[in-house]
Structure 1
């Protein structure tokens, strides 16, 4: 009798049927024509802001060697629209809904989290602490350990759903920020958001991005993220969601072996709309070949001796 593969991952009270989910900002309802949302581990729509926002000036995206830079900005229809339309749309699927929140201050994070986090169809919150803190001279919340801890604490006081802190890689020590998020009461850590980058058109000598700088993603960033996942896993026992540069099953497995319990897929879905289910099948094939019947056995299984 062939043993069944267990791909279920548990993050706090959040149960995922498998470790594959989209990265916020790289996933929308129009993708239902390409993949079955019910087959994903979780659904993560684009970050929501309290008020409607138009996003950044164009051009917003440019291609680079082995990756892309984007500066979409948190283009958003606002909290009221999200509650009325977006949540019901995604709640129709069996995969858990993780709402990604972006805010301008700690207080605003708490206010939005109280509203969204207590909606019965929202299963977890991803706190985009990589966005600028307008009360902290524009520095991202996740660049400051004290601010990170107080932000997570403020949100934890208003909702009981699992809290995923989305860390920024643009720091000297991501371990310090991870520990601060843990101290604040985070349930899990997303490692990590995009790397700050810039590209120039040498003919016009103008930036290729309207906002001058943007977030670098794609296969070129994967080794940096794998390193950060490993480092964070050495200092905290919180579940880690790996994000950045996953293009195939092997990439996802690298992050899982480094210490990630789950992974998010972004840029790959722009190139291959079926990237997420394809990656899951590649992981299952790997498990069968290596006679590993529980995905959790792979988490942090790196051999360094």
Structure 2
């Protein structure tokens, strides 16, 4: 049992530290029920929900990039009332906890959305998404809006490039957990249409950047940190736990290799089979050997090297002396 929000009357406790991130499995994850044993997961975060309906983005939605993909969806959803009408019964019957991802819009609409989700009965928590350029006052107002509409625990998903600057404000403003981080934005050319497309970036190359920020925040924060970004192997997930994360969310791997999501959940959830030295072959505990079979079937060869985009956060300009001393506080 893992408590992934601050302790209190409405704290959120899950059985496994592995979750599916928002936008990866729709509103109820049933599309993956034949690919993943969903009961092995700790929770699933729904696709983004807003009070008012949102249409899909125009043009290309997915653009392949080196080592991952760029995703531009527009956060389409039929609006909170329609989502709840269609899925609340499934949420209530699900043996897997469902966390609703709320899109931060106006104060009034966030309050209404939180109120509706509170009354749905099938949601165990709310994850609040923010704009990349959110200001501290806007962050506080968005948290206040969710709390006005609901007593469910609030997981705040921080923008990657401003997470270090905003986490303390989020903690002081009432967030119950910090999700680090939302995928960064980028632009690339769609090879089919030839158009330049902007969107969020996904792929294993994100992990070193997110891991550094998770470690910085987890060292200082007094509320749980949940890591999200670039997890494609059990070792990736364990690196985040080692850096101080209480749990992890898996995003792009859910699309690329959904079977590995279950392998990671089994690995971190203690379902890897071990036995004493010298034990006989028939001393395996029934059922637990499936993890090893799945791992074998997924393949153990290392993935090919990923090519990150040409510009990453914190890289110095090319004309700077790469050997020049840096501010030691940057390595905290």
TM-score in terms of structure 2 length = 0.75
Residue in structure 2 matched with residue 11 of structure 1 by the alignment? 5
Q: Does 1:187 align with 2:176?
A: yes
Residue in structure 2 matched with residue 293 of structure 1 by the alignment? none
1:43-63, Cα deviation, whole Å (9 max, x unpaired): 211011222222111211011
Q: Kindly report the root-mean-square deviation, in angstroms, between the aligned alpha carbons of the 2 structures.
A: 2.4
Structure 1 CA distance for aligned equivalents of residues 138 and 48 of structure 2: 20
Residue in structure 2 matched with residue 292 of structure 1 by the alignment? none
Secondary structure of the residue aligned to 1:237 is: coil
Secondary structure of the residue aligned to 1:47 is: strand
Secondary structure of the residue aligned to 1:44 is: strand
Q: Does 1:168 align with 2:169?
A: no
1:206-236, Cα deviation, whole Å (9 max, x unpaired): 31xxxx3110011011111101111111331
1:15-62, Cα deviation, whole Å (9 max, x unpaired): 110101101100132111212222210121101122222211121101
Unpaired runs of 5+ residues, structure 1, are 1-6, 131-139, 290-303
1:133-192, Cα deviation, whole Å (9 max, x unpaired): xxxxxxx4x631221122212322332110000111133xx2221111111101001111
* Equivalent residues of 1:50, 1:103 under 8 A apart: no
Residue in structure 2 matched with residue 64 of structure 1 by the alignment? 65
- Structure number with bigger Rg: 2
Structure 1 CA distance for aligned equivalents of residues 191 and 45 of structure 2: 37
Of 197-206 and 25-34, more deviation after overlay is shown by 197-206
Residue in structure 1 matched with residue 252 of structure 2 by the alignment? 267
Q: Does 1:149 align with 2:149?
A: no
Secondary structure of the residue aligned to 2:59 is: coil
Structure 1 CA distance for aligned equivalents of residues 149 and 46 of structure 2: 22
* Equivalent residues of 1:43, 1:97 under 8 A apart: yes
Q: Could you tell me how far 1:8 is from its partner in structure 2?
A: 3.4
Aligned CA distance change for structure 1 residues 118 and 186 (closer, same or farther; 3 Å): farther
Residue in structure 2 matched with residue 256 of structure 1 by the alignment? 241
Of 220-229 and 175-184, more deviation after overlay is shown by 175-184
Q: Could you tell me how far 1:268 is from its partner in structure 2?
A: 0.5
Structure 2 CA distance for aligned equivalents of residues 287 and 58 of structure 1: 47
Among 259, 262, 286, the alignment partner of 1:277 is: 262
Structure 2 CA distance for aligned equivalents of residues 129 and 60 of structure 1: 20
Aligned 1:1-305 pairs, distance under 5 A: 8-12=2-6, 13-27=11-25, 28-130=29-131, 140=132, 143-171=134-162, 174-200=163-189, 206-207=195-196, 212-283=197-268, 284=270
* Equivalent residues of 2:92, 2:121 under 8 A apart: no
Q: Could you tell me how far 1:205 is from its partner in structure 2?
A: 5.9
Aligned CA distance change for structure 1 residues 109 and 279 (closer, same or farther; 3 Å): same
* Equivalent residues of 2:61, 2:72 under 8 A apart: yes
Unpaired runs of 5+ residues, structure 2, are 276-330
Aligned CA distance change for structure 1 residues 102 and 203 (closer, same or farther; 3 Å): closer
Secondary structure of the residue aligned to 2:170 is: helix
Aligned CA distance change for structure 1 residues 256 and 35 (closer, same or farther; 3 Å): same
Residue in structure 2 matched with residue 294 of structure 1 by the alignment? none
Structure 2 CA distance for aligned equivalents of residues 15 and 269 of structure 1: 23
Residue in structure 1 matched with residue 278 of structure 2 by the alignment? none
Secondary structure of the residue aligned to 2:48 is: coil
